[in-house]
Structure 1
Amino acid sequence: MTTPAASGATTAARSRTPPLLDSLVEDVREAVGRGLLPDMTAQLVAERLAPFLGAPGLLTAEQREGDPERYRQHVLHVERDGSFSLVALVWLPGQRTPIHDHVSWCVTGVHEGVESERRYRLVSDYATARLVVTEDVLNLQGAVSGFAPPGDIHQVRNAGTSTAISIHVYGADVSRLGSSVRRVYDTPHGEL
């Protein structure tokens, strides 16, 4: 297991947010404010995020910048009470996450490009543990998914030839944590 800090480079939003991003924050705030169970919150937030994906003007030029070394995390908004964070992840071709899970519910949506996701299940016989691939998903622009732990182990990568950008909403304060990653898995894994 490695630490969450091993994930992509992080930047914080420094300038005034675009009005469209302010609208997204308001919609997410309303959904999170209902105080529903984590999986229900994730589904509601996914519904709120979907209409914003692909919209011009959602992100500033700075928030669309990648990093040649690894995928880049731009923190777009952290709610004052730490109840949620919005993040843009920018992926250059071939960049990927390690296999990981999350500290909280999570919603992801592809804003631009294509992301490939491999989902896993942890199988244990109390003596050993291994990861088993459960599904491979190709997420095109506009694709949204929401989930909550447990059962949120996956790896994401940009399998395309151009930059991919995804918007992530986490039920945690990523400015304090540095990442939404709870655990990085180096456990041996097998196919379906």
Structure 2
Amino acid sequence: MTTTTPARTTARMAALVSEIRKVVDRGLAPDLTAYLVGERLAPHLGEPELLTPEQCEGHPDRYRQHILHTEPDGSFSVVALVWLPGQETSIHDHVSWCVAGVHEGAESEVRYRLAPAAGPGGAARLVPTEEVVNGQGDVCGFAPPGDIHKVRNSCRTTAISLHVYGADVGRLGSSVRRVYPEPTG
């Protein structure tokens, strides 16, 4: 993943950030915060004036993260992830609640859970639970635990998704807490 900072904020992005701030400032439970932020994000997806042309640029080798906003108190961040065809994440979980909405294109997501170890002294194993394809306008949200997934661009064109994290991605560099190996067998 490559990370860049925004050249400027559009008026529509500023309005979205204001709406998100009102939800986050309520101090609700993480899963409820994610749900309400998702409701605020959905109407903005697909709107051409949401992102600048520079914030829609991908990278030929890996998906690209454009940091669009980090709240001064670190309570949330908004990023655009730009995916060229076939680009994907590793299997990972997050440091905080997260909301993702597809702005353009389509993304496939495989969700996982940790299953208990088969015997004494064994390690928990990763089990796929669901695969979904999210198209333009689709929103999903989650909060740890239960947020293990892998995401990839599943269309033949560029895919762009907006992500809101309950953390300061500008300071952390990413919202990823842990990366998991691909399950075997």
**TM norm structure 2:** 0.96
- CA separation of 1:46 and 1:129: change in aligned 2, threshold 3 A: same
Whole-angstrom CA distance in 2 between matches of 1:124 and 1:92: 36
1:129 aligns with 2:121: no
Q: Which residue of 1 aligns with 2:4?
A: 11
Q: Which residue of 2 aligns with 1:152?
A: 147
Contact 2:93 2:178 in 1 (8 A): yes
Residue ranges of structure 1 left out of the alignment (5+ in a row): 1-7
1:114 aligns with 2:106: yes
Question: Which amino acid letter does the alignment assign opposite residue 19 of structure 2?
Answer: D
Question: Which amino acid letter does the alignment assign opposite residue 156 of structure 1?
Answer: V
**TM norm structure 1:** 0.93
Q: Which runs of 4+ in 1 moved over 6 A?
A: none
Q: Which residue of 2 aligns with 1:25?
A: 17
Q: Which residue of 2 aligns with 1:171?
A: 166
Q: Which residue of 2 aligns with 1:141?
A: 136
Contact 1:120 1:131 in 2 (8 A): yes
Out of 171, 177, 185, which is 1:182 matched to? 177
Q: Percent identity?
A: 68
Aligned-residue Cα RMSD (Å) equals 1.0
Kindly state the Cα deviation for residue 189 of structure 1 after the two structures are TM-superposed: 4.7
Q: State the secondary structure of the residue aligned to 1:116.
A: strand
Number of paired residues? 182
Deviations 1:51-103 (A, max 9, x none): 00001110001000000000000000000000000000000000000000000
Residue ranges of structure 2 left out of the alignment (5+ in a row): none
Q: State the secondary structure of the residue aligned to 1:96.
A: coil
